[in-house]
Structure 1
């Protein structure tokens, strides 16, 4: 079937777009790739100075790219007949406000005229546009041409289109060039094969932008009315929050099942078994300085040194034991859970454990069987007869992983390097755009980093194979290249995987190490290793499984069987580059023969409980976003950033928790907008956008089909949704004042408990993350550094802290706060940094100057969003001297307070660190022990935002 012609993008005076959904007040300000707000340099960034000198492009060609770094690298390859200028991201966007006198619910989008967009030049890009217009005029006066070399995805295509519109060039006239890597060969190939601007790709980007604008600007005001002012909704981000909220509720509702594992340590040196038993008990009783027992890896090492090994009991009488965890989705009855302990003890006796005993403690905070913690004690008799029943050894192989795509790079950088998605993409962007290599100049070190394709070009495969053969030899080189299919069936940005542009530029090269920042180097090493390894031969192992049978009762129905496994690396293959992984439980087994007698010297009967689904990490959340088709490679990092900035989710120990605000907003959005909050519908919308780009689907028709049902949902939601503060939910708690039930209510800062008999009874209490009442604030013997009043111990979302007892004083409030360290001692608030006029080398925001233990150091003022560092040692002497004088004056004006008790005893030193002799907060609580009194709705109102 012939494709019908694509509909042209609206040719209007001004335009641009970002990848992040809006809300009218723009409460969340994700930082763009070039310092602005939103996707690629939207409004909100710094104003860029004019850099173009009139006349310098006469008789030359003009090349326009996004970033100055990319311009510098490209300019190196193009030569003197080209002038390369940067747009510094998007130059136009939909306006954030309507013109005076215009009433439009969605600024910049005419909902009555086929969603016609109106664009405006971003204020901070006015000088950029002026420069580009002057340069274009100079080019037009000669024989030169204008080339649009922006990135090869939808956003890059849209930037090229908006620039062409501003310069009066049609899409067909435009010379569009794209390259997956900024290398001489790729640039030469691109400039030899220019093409028009892809209007379908522009339409797909424009449709996404308008969709996000409609949802943001029409749903957010509804949240202001129904939940709280300042909130915002996003078409994709709100669905991502829903995933975290649903996982939170799965965990909350989860009731564990009890099960048991029986393990034993064996040796094939029978005479030593009796002596190994006390030696093992002595070893396992050791504790480190954090009171932790030996790790699994340390236990495995001890066993190997003492010719022992670990095995797990799997069968009794040839049948699988029935004390293990139930299958996924199955649960035991209460009666079955009660019987399981007796069965575990019976099996332990059959295995040789003498007189097992059980100690029980109760955990009232746990659910179901987990309320009763059982410690089973007993020693195994070394004389219990066991023998090797069978030995099975087979050769196994481990294939290399595919080269990185955007999502897998973000996941690997999160799990292996501890990088957040934004941090990963920032470093990747710098590696792609070019880094100055000593003696070489600026070089693009990796291919384009926004991709969902594992495809590798023929040139890349040849380069990898040549490098492997030269460096490691033929045995590491497969007969044919390794090919990998994409895991994402909706892959739409069909260019190459993320790889180094030249494998010869290895991380081990001293020039590379010196040229890269720590973040750049660690990420480049990860990308380089994955790429080279993916074209190497599989690793080979000899995997051995040993079955051990025996026990106290030789009758066939009572014989117990243990199993142990181990493996030995025979050939390292691709691990030659990436390193051999080693799990803590992986054992190197002694040499065995069938029927060989063995002796047990230790046994453990461990009570276990099934676990709830794990909380999402950045890596696992990105993985589910990808698998569910929510967002695209270019949006994963912004989704992760925005849902945290809006305080709908928060991270603790690198895991996501839904906040009370996130849960309430999600519930309201699901109730009011079931369609746009549906994961399947969101996936379908992404597929529709792909069809706009790839199959000429009419983007206006697509928007009309979306907006009709959405408009009805919006009207119904405005009429039917009840304000969150007017709702209450039952709890399991009774009011300590009057005995009536407590109910959960919602304030701007989260849930709290209130007496159901309010206003007759005014009792109220903040709650912890599990919804349990937090105790009344306890006064401690610590003086507030701001006002001198006593501090009170409080518990926030990130743990305990001290707050001034005068916080709620209506006449003279005080917001003094003190942190509590891991040892439970008070620490002084940190000294504010000195903000300098030096730009961050990463994002160009001002650098902060601090005094550290090793002297002055410069860090980005936007930390942790940006982790750029300045180089103090490389500043000239006059600059360092001036900053040192400023720092001295700053230190004098902002002294670190010495924290004291109410009677003047110092708790911290001049650097704010706890004194060795200082009491802990718990000990200081005992000095006074008073409570701030009964909690009332009035007393918690400020804290909960009521």
Structure 2
């Protein structure tokens, strides 16, 4: 009986696929790449048109022998690595290692791990796409040329162990530029005036907008007092009432970047965690009686295309649960942006009828939360628009115009299933949530209270991991497969740290970016990097030869490298000296920055290797032993607050302690913040006294 060998990338994928193929098929996993550029050398021949030198990856010898033996024992071999550039390159390298003919039709591709998709792929094998392989080769070689030649320069000029990457450096630059904007920001005072008004239909709020047709700006208390003196005692009269219908379309199903952003907003997942969980859902999980099944389509994609069969399933579910009104006249398709892969699909459930509730008790908590997010977004994308009634009321007071806005949902449409989240600091509609307001033009209103409030302009927010992904996508920096590893790398290297979800450049990051800006402007130039991504796309499309693209990038880089080597002197990073004395050698310890924040180290390194945590006091005392509470970090880098007397006292709190004890029971209070308010809450479950803190 003839045998067919199918090689995939992971054991989980192999297990899922085996279920859909008969006994004539053997499915094995390559465990990712088996051949690559060696780590010990540049491995790119600069004298001979950037020819790469590939070798079998160390430690994979036994696996390669196993796959070679399986290949010899098979009548046919199918290479079923992932459907992207990286997967195509893995198939190409496997062909070389296993002695397969490159013009054989042995490459199969699928975007979901279902019986239908696997069997269709087996029936339609193709040749390895050399253009796609060349695009991956060009990226790999460029990254090697930059990393392996720039990193030693940083070792010699700044500090041993440093490294610089092509895309990672641009990501650090984005974080660093935002920090510079924040440092340079000068806060300005401004005031707002809101009227609490009473109509025949009830109370409502109206905001001062204009004077004599011009937008009102109130920069000071004196100006506010002057405006108040012109308003107090005058009639508030309705001059215009406008009602409108507003329709809102659902968001498209997820692509890689939008999934990472929304999972961060709604689930507090890092991009890395999101992609790890999505990989598990894609490769397949054991559902009991049903066996191992892939639950979502391929998670590295920039396409919002949806298969007709998936749309039909979504329609069936929507009609059976909500009825005809909740389904549009035609199935909804979305338009891809830029150079998105048309052959790819959006991230969606493989079976739309498989609801999240049906997977309770089968998936882990976080797997289920991410599946629910993907499922709800996809179902909502196929539903009717939401219809909102809006009301705008203009009120005149002499020359001044106040305006009230209100809205209510007339028909929820897709909002019955899903609504997209917003980033912190993102503008929201300042509307009252219901249309209880009943007013008529010419109606005189009673003033309940005039509310004048002082504000200060705020600097742009620091990037979160989610908003940095969005910025990278907007600027064309990287591709779906690179967002998460790039953000992970810049933190691992100590160039950026995460504080309260915000990304902050370290002193080391500042120094490296300043040096790169001066001597390697192209590497940090957003437009230059985005143009290179477009050229990689053109290689994949068969329009540009990969070696000419590499040469065009590398030639000016090599010139800059030689100039930098000659001109840059030794950059010294001055460590901040602390009052802490090293108990081993008596020196004053210095403050250094590591992956998980600052720590104390002996300046006598390498003779003395003493290090210890640097604890930042939070200004509150431990409720158990009265010692000072300090900031600590978990193994995963998450900030928490603990007693400085640890390990004798093991008190910890995940929430920031407030400076003052509870006025009712003298127990510890913690700070709780939301977009609406900031408050101090007592931790004593029998008390729970709460004090709202006025901002500004």
Alignment of 1:764-775 (within 5 A): none
Q: What residue in structure 1 maps to residue 227 of structure 2?
A: 347
Q: What residue in structure 2 maps to residue 928 of structure 1?
A: none
Q: Distance in 2 between matches of 1:822 and 1:456?
A: 54
Question: Shift in Å at residue 812 of structure 1?
Answer: 11
Alignment of 1:678-697 (within 5 A): 678-697=525-544
Q: Distance in 2 between matches of 1:807 and 1:801?
A: 18
The answer on whether the counterparts of 2:197 and 2:206 sit within 8 Å (CA) in structure 1 is yes
Q: What residue in structure 1 maps to residue 40 of structure 2?
A: 97
| Residue among 464, 485, 498 paired with 2:314 | 464
| Residue among 229, 241, 253 paired with 2:172 | 241
Secondary structure of the corresponding residue to residue 207 of structure 1: helix
Question: Shift in Å at residue 908 of structure 1?
Answer: 7.5
Q: Are 1:815 and 2:664 an aligned pair?
A: no
String of CA shifts for 1:139-183, please: whole Å, max 9, x gaps: 1xxxx3111111100000011111111110022125111011111
Give 5+ residue unaligned stretches, structure 2. 422-427, 662-696
String of CA shifts for 1:291-314, please: whole Å, max 9, x gaps: xxxxxxxxxxxxxxxx43221111
Question: Shift in Å at residue 456 of structure 1?
Answer: 1.0
Q: What residue in structure 2 maps to residue 68 of structure 1?
A: 11
Q: What residue in structure 2 maps to residue 496 of structure 1?
A: 345
Question: Shift in Å at residue 406 of structure 1?
Answer: 0.6
Q: What residue in structure 2 maps to residue 86 of structure 1?
A: 29
Q: What residue in structure 2 maps to residue 109 of structure 1?
A: 44
Question: Shift in Å at residue 648 of structure 1?
Answer: 1.0
The answer on whether the counterparts of 1:793 and 1:801 sit within 8 Å (CA) in structure 2 is no
Secondary structure of the corresponding residue to residue 675 of structure 1: helix
Question: Shift in Å at residue 796 of structure 1?
Answer: 8.3
Alignment of 1:241-280 (within 5 A): 241-268=172-199
Q: Distance in 1 between matches of 2:608 and 2:59?
A: 44
Q: What residue in structure 2 maps to residue 322 of structure 1?
A: 217
Secondary structure of the corresponding residue to residue 439 of structure 1: helix
Q: Distance in 2 between matches of 1:595 and 1:793?
A: 72
Secondary structure of the corresponding residue to residue 522 of structure 1: helix
Q: Distance in 1 between matches of 2:285 and 2:658?
A: 51
Q: What residue in structure 1 maps to residue 76 of structure 2?
A: 145
Question: Shift in Å at residue 424 of structure 1?
Answer: 0.5
The answer on whether the counterparts of 1:254 and 1:612 sit within 8 Å (CA) in structure 2 is yes
Secondary structure of the corresponding residue to residue 197 of structure 2: strand
The change in CA–CA distance for 1:801 and 1:702 in structure 2 (over 3 A counts) is: closer
The answer on whether the counterparts of 1:312 and 1:564 sit within 8 Å (CA) in structure 2 is yes
Secondary structure of the corresponding residue to residue 544 of structure 1: strand
Q: What residue in structure 2 maps to residue 375 of structure 1?
A: none
Q: Distance in 2 between matches of 1:649 and 1:830?
A: 19
Q: Distance in 1 between matches of 2:24 and 2:455?
A: 72
Secondary structure of the corresponding residue to residue 85 of structure 1: strand
Q: Distance in 1 between matches of 2:589 and 2:566?
A: 44
Q: Distance in 1 between matches of 2:51 and 2:599?
A: 54
Alignment of 1:194-343 (within 5 A): 194-268=125-199, 307-323=202-218, 340-343=220-223
Q: What residue in structure 2 maps to residue 856 of structure 1?
A: none
The answer on whether the counterparts of 1:309 and 1:587 sit within 8 Å (CA) in structure 2 is no
Q: What residue in structure 2 maps to residue 544 of structure 1?
A: 391
Question: Shift in Å at residue 716 of structure 1?
Answer: 0.9
Count of residue correspondences: 641
The answer on whether the counterparts of 2:620 and 2:628 sit within 8 Å (CA) in structure 1 is no
The answer on whether the counterparts of 1:350 and 1:560 sit within 8 Å (CA) in structure 2 is no
Q: Distance in 2 between matches of 1:805 and 1:709?
A: 42
Q: Distance in 1 between matches of 2:324 and 2:142?
A: 54
The change in CA–CA distance for 1:584 and 1:88 in structure 2 (over 3 A counts) is: farther
Q: Distance in 1 between matches of 2:596 and 2:27?
A: 52
Secondary structure of the corresponding residue to residue 515 of structure 1: coil
Q: Distance in 1 between matches of 2:160 and 2:307?
A: 51
Question: Shift in Å at residue 202 of structure 1?
Answer: 0.7
Q: What residue in structure 1 maps to residue 463 of structure 2?
A: 616
Question: Shift in Å at residue 911 of structure 1?
Answer: 3.6
Q: Distance in 1 between matches of 2:524 and 2:155?
A: 18
Q: What residue in structure 2 maps to residue 380 of structure 1?
A: none
Secondary structure of the corresponding residue to residue 815 of structure 1: strand
Question: Shift in Å at residue 607 of structure 1?
Answer: 2.4
String of CA shifts for 1:254-310, please: whole Å, max 9, x gaps: 22333221112112269xxxxxxxxxxxxxxxxxxxxxxxxxxxxxxxxxxxx4322
| Residue among 380, 402, 417 paired with 1:577 | 417
Q: Distance in 2 between matches of 1:231 and 1:423?
A: 25
Question: Shift in Å at residue 537 of structure 1?
Answer: 0.5
The change in CA–CA distance for 1:899 and 1:206 in structure 2 (over 3 A counts) is: closer
Question: Shift in Å at residue 620 of structure 1?
Answer: 1.4
Question: Shift in Å at residue 802 of structure 1?
Answer: 10
TM-score (normalised: structure 2): 0.85
| Residue among 403, 422, 430 paired with 1:563 | 403
Secondary structure of the corresponding residue to residue 374 of structure 2: helix
The change in CA–CA distance for 1:796 and 1:724 in structure 2 (over 3 A counts) is: closer
String of CA shifts for 1:116-141, please: whole Å, max 9, x gaps: 212222223222212111111211xx
Give 5+ residue unaligned stretches, structure 1. 1-57, 99-105, 271-306, 324-336, 353-382, 551-557, 726-745, 750-764, 767-775, 834-861, 866-896, 901-906, 923-946
TM-score (normalised: structure 1): 0.63
The answer on whether the counterparts of 2:617 and 2:631 sit within 8 Å (CA) in structure 1 is no
Q: What residue in structure 2 maps to residue 649 of structure 1?
A: 496
Q: 648-657 vs 203-212, which deviates more?
A: 648-657
Secondary structure of the corresponding residue to residue 20 of structure 2: helix
Q: Distance in 1 between matches of 2:496 and 2:344?
A: 33
The change in CA–CA distance for 1:921 and 1:679 in structure 2 (over 3 A counts) is: same
Question: Shift in Å at residue 459 of structure 1?
Answer: 1.6
Q: What residue in structure 1 maps to residue 684 of structure 2?
A: none
Q: Distance in 1 between matches of 2:254 and 2:418?
A: 14
Question: Shift in Å at residue 683 of structure 1?
Answer: 1.1
Question: Shift in Å at residue 404 of structure 1?
Answer: 0.7
The answer on whether the counterparts of 2:619 and 2:659 sit within 8 Å (CA) in structure 1 is no
Q: Distance in 1 between matches of 2:658 and 2:590?
A: 15
Secondary structure of the corresponding residue to residue 508 of structure 1: helix
Q: What residue in structure 1 maps to residue 666 of structure 2?
A: none
Q: Distance in 2 between matches of 1:696 and 1:911?
A: 63
| Residue among 677, 695, 699 paired with 2:546 | 699
Q: What residue in structure 2 maps to residue 428 of structure 1?
A: 278
Q: Distance in 2 between matches of 1:203 and 1:802?
A: 45
The answer on whether the counterparts of 1:503 and 1:532 sit within 8 Å (CA) in structure 2 is yes
Alignment of 1:779-858 (within 5 A): 815=612, 820=617, 823-825=620-622, 826=627
The change in CA–CA distance for 1:417 and 1:799 in structure 2 (over 3 A counts) is: closer
The change in CA–CA distance for 1:693 and 1:910 in structure 2 (over 3 A counts) is: same
The change in CA–CA distance for 1:646 and 1:803 in structure 2 (over 3 A counts) is: closer
The answer on whether the counterparts of 2:251 and 2:377 sit within 8 Å (CA) in structure 1 is yes
Secondary structure of the corresponding residue to residue 448 of structure 1: coil
Q: What residue in structure 1 maps to residue 442 of structure 2?
A: 595
Question: Shift in Å at residue 92 of structure 1?
Answer: 1.5
Q: Which has the larger radius of gyration?
A: 1
Question: Shift in Å at residue 207 of structure 1?
Answer: 1.1
